[in-house]
A and B are shown apart, each in its own frame.
Chain A
Amino acid sequence: MISLRGLRFSYAGGPAFAFADVDVPQGGVLLVRGPSGSGKSTLLALLAGLLSPAAGRVCVADTDVGALPSGRRDTWRGRALGFMPQRLHLSENLSVAGNLELPFVCAGISVDTASVNDVLSRLHIADITRRKPHELSLGQAQRVALARALVRGPAVVVADEPTANLDDTNAHAVVSLLRDLSAQSRATLVLATHDPRVASQISATATIALEAHA
């Protein structure tokens, strides 16, 4: 489901990164560990097709992402990848329901109401669909962000620092949720984190340990 081979990337006039080869089957968990500046975000961008590798191959959901024409990468990303950013980035102008409809609007397709209702019910947030993000608790907001990542049934769910700034209880809750829901959907889970609590809580199929860049 995810395969990295000889993957390298360098920013113009900036740091260069080399990533270890790795294979993660469908439904597996890839843990990307490392401190800030170690290349976690760069790896996620390569997986999402936002950056093109300088060398090597990155295959996600049976697609050689680097070989995709740039015009098709966005469509592919919307269909194959569910993304839960560290800061959640729920649209403050939209209700919970509006935020869950956003992936369909972005893809230019009609909203799959059944899928929206299904993910709302699985995440136990069906009763807060009319609320705006600022009216949600942190736990509710994280569930909404996860629901947004899952609503189109992606093959891969990417979570970037999902436990940052959370206490132990909330960190445990969000990782459990990610693990359980990805397993239910048979989605491959990519967790990028520098939080040691995540590694102890989740059984990773593969781990990429990155080191701080000089």
Chain B
Amino acid sequence: MTLARLAWTHLWAKPLAALLNLLLLMLGFAAISLVLLVSDQLEEGVRRDLAGIDLVVGAKGSPMQLILAGVFHLDVPPGNIALTAVDMLKQHPLVARVVPISLGDTLRGYRIVGTTPDYPALYAARLAGGREWRKPLEAILGSEVAIATGLKPGDAFVGAHGLGTGGHLHGDTPYTAVGIYQRTGTVLDRLVLTSTESVWAVHELATATDAADLKALAEEREVTMLLVSYRSPIAAASLPRWVNSHAELQAASPALETARLLRMVGIGIDVLKGFGAVLLFVAGLSVFIALYHAVRERENDLAMMRMLGAPPRRVAAMVAFEALWLATLGAILGLALGHGLTHLLGLSLKAERSVSLSGTLWSVWEWSIPALAFALALLSSALPVWRAYRLDVTRLLQAPR
């Protein structure tokens, strides 16, 4: 038997109290772990999804909506913009690159994005199989889409109209999957990419009643949004204003809007952090009360340890070990629960084709949890440990009163 084992035996001599303390500690650490994992992965995900996009240009509406729809593919876009806007922006001296995206259809909830090869290039996407699209109605699947749908290069599929569920199928214009992208850990994994011409073809053929109608539609072609990269940082000061001066256009800065978004999400995260902190405070208080009473109840046992040759520091260490056992177990179980909850949350969001969260990743900030557990154990056991250290052993020798 060792001192740690002895502390373990004493700890579980009162299983209900030990379990209650363990539960409180576990919930506190789980809340902290969940917050760290979610906030870390959200920020990292946002950073990856922004991928050098300096400005999003779309139809007049909310800038936040433009960013959510155009960068993260979480919201519906406010409308379409004329194709002429592409050329207008491309010719602007402060613009380095313009990537058009056209939205409108989905494949089993995953968005079909009409664009140019510049879009996957933003995310440094590489093909896991197949080839790039060469003509309209050829598409490349993001890694998550390929896994979820089971489609492979050579398979045909049809898109459903609209970005929500329940849209009619464009059965007359099936796509052919020609490639699958490697996993990028970005929004690209949840998208089906095709040429802008594909989106035009699908919708023009679906709505045109005759050849003249088809020609008229072709002359009024639109895109949904433009993802703009600046040639120079100076553009940040003037280009959004220049875009907004056009009656039909709206500019949105991803950096500003995501900072605003993270601030809003941050309020929720702070609430959860506070909840975790309160739980840990209560757990620490509970451990302190349990240990304080344990030392009082076991004063004679502890004095006997001194009589058997234990120096004061060894007796005190045994009490501290009890708190350390609780905190260590609480931290391990809390981390496991935190990762488990994050995984469940990730699965739930995945089912909604939303942001990607994983319980298998480790946030560097989580290293603070063992340190926090150690500090909590020391803090909550400080007074009981001091009491055990200062124990009056001669009382053991006194006759019972």
A residues within 8 Å of B by Cβ? 36, 41-42, 44-45, 48, 50-51, 71, 74-75, 77-79, 81, 83, 85-87, 89, 91-94, 98, 101-108, 111, 148, 160-161, 164
Give chain A nearest CB distance to B276 CB in angstroms.
32
B310 adjacent to A107 (CB under 8 Å): yes
Asked whether B394 is an interface residue with its Cβ less than 8 Å from the other chain, the reply is yes
- A108 CB contacts on chain B under 8 angstroms: 3, 310, 314
- For chain B, the bracket of interface size reads 20 to 34
Is there contact, CB below 8 Å, between A45 and B310?
no
Q: Is the pair B308, A102 in contact by a Cβ cutoff of 8 Å? A: yes
Interface of B is mostly: helix
Q: Which residues of B contact A98 (CB under 8 A)?
A: 1, 9
For B314, list chain A residues within 8 Å (CB). Answer: 106, 108
Tell me the complex Cα distance, A103–B306, Å: 10
Contacts of A106 in B (CB 8 A): 305-306, 308-310, 314
- Which of A45, A86, A111 contacts B394, CB < 8 Å? A45
Partner of B397, one of A45, A75, A77: A45
Q: Across the interface, which residues of A come within 8 angstroms of B394, CB to CB?
A: 41-42, 45, 50-51
For B1-34 the 0/1 string (1 means CB < 8 A from A) is: 1110010011001000000000000000000000
A77 to B399 Cα, complex, angstroms: 21
Give which listed residue, B307, B311, B400, contacts A75 with CB less than 8 A: B311
Pairs across A and B, CB under 8 Å, 29 listed: A36-B399, A42-B394, A45-B393, A45-B397, A50-B394, A50-B397, A51-B394, A77-B309, A78-B308, A83-B308, A85-B304, A86-B399, A89-B300, A91-B301, A91-B304, A92-B301, A98-B9, A102-B6, A102-B305, A102-B308, A103-B309, A106-B308, A106-B309, A106-B310, A106-B314, A107-B308, A108-B3, A160-B397, A161-B399
Cβ contact within 8 Å between B304 and A74: no
Give the residues in chain B near A81, CB-CB below 8 Å: 307
Pick from A86, A102, A106 the residue with the most CB of B within 10 Å: A106
Asked if B306 and A105 sit within 8 Å, CB to CB, the answer is no
Given A93-B13, A94-B6, 9 more A-B residue pairs with CB atoms under 8 Å apart are A41-B394, A50-B306, A75-B311, A83-B308, A92-B301, A93-B10, A93-B301, A102-B6, A108-B310
Contact A83 B307 (CB under 8 A): yes
B13: chain A residues within 8 A (beta carbon): 92-93
Q: How far is the CA of A98 from the CA of B394 in the complex (A)?
A: 24
B311-324 vs A, Cβ < 8 Å mask (1 yes, 0 no): 11010000000000
Whether B399 lies near A89 (C-beta < 8 A) is: no
Q: Say yes or no: is B201 at the interface (Cβ < 8 Å to chain A).
A: no
Cα separation A51 to B398 with both chains bound (whole Å)? 14
Q: In the complex, how many angstroms separate the beta carbon of B394 from the nearest chain A beta carbon?
A: 5
Contact B306 A74 (CB under 8 A): yes
Q: Does B128 contact A (CB under 8 A)?
A: no
Asked if A89 and B396 make an inter-chain contact with CB atoms under 8 angstroms apart, the answer reads: yes
- Bound together, the chains give a CA A111 to CA B3 distance in angstroms of 12
A105 near B6 with CB under 8 A, answer yes
A86 to chain B minimum Cβ distance, whole angstroms, is: 7
Given A51-B394, A77-B307, A105-B6, A111 and B399 contact (CB-CB distance below 8 Å)? no
Q: Which one of B3, B397, B400 contacts A105 once the chains associate, using CB atoms below 8 Å?
A: B3
Question: Chain A residues near B393 (CB, 8 Å)?
Answer: 45, 50
Q: Which 8 A-B pairs have the closest CB atoms?
A: A78-B309, A106-B310, A93-B13, A41-B397, A106-B308, A74-B311, A89-B304, A103-B308
Q: Is the Cβ of B309 less than 8 Å from the Cβ of A107?
A: yes
A residues less than 8 Å from B307 (CB atoms): 48, 77, 81, 83, 85
- Inter-chain CA distance A62–B300, complex, in Å, is 29
Separation of A101 and B1 alpha carbons in the complex (Å) = 7
A74 pairs with B309, CB closer than 8 A: yes
Evaluate contact between A41 and B398: CB separation under 8 angstroms.
yes
Produce 1/0 per residue, B378-401, CB < 8 A to A: 000000000000000110111110
